[in-house]
Structure 1
């Protein structure tokens, strides 16, 4: 996305009564807008499934906001889950 206006960050999934829940945050790259947290109203059987689904939904959401099509690319070395510069 060359002219991206939005990006996202996946939160750590949390265990809730035998299932996993997750959310992501929309991050504006251009000034003026505020970050927006999106809680996914689903329960998942594992943390990895929650991360995968949140990533997929966030990519679609950000692509739509940027007027683009979601690419579903794997994270780069700088975007490794919950690393120094986490995107996922």
Structure 2
């Protein structure tokens, strides 16, 4: 079984300029087959994680959805800033 929080954290870590403020949390979902992952970071780091036209966020979501397929679950990734 893959630790999805750690996997997403490890993917985001080299992309941020303030790694001490980066955290990934799993939130409860209303559906049994869905996993919600929230990425919390500084405001400028969230912009960097989303990227221009959402290119980096889309790539992160695609990689994580492939990892979640082993568990036969749908995965949603949300980006939030501390500010």
Q: TM-score scaled by structure 1?
A: 0.31
Q: TM-score scaled by structure 2?
A: 0.32
* Larger radius of gyration between Structure 1 and Structure 2: 1
Which protein is richer in helix relative to its size?
2
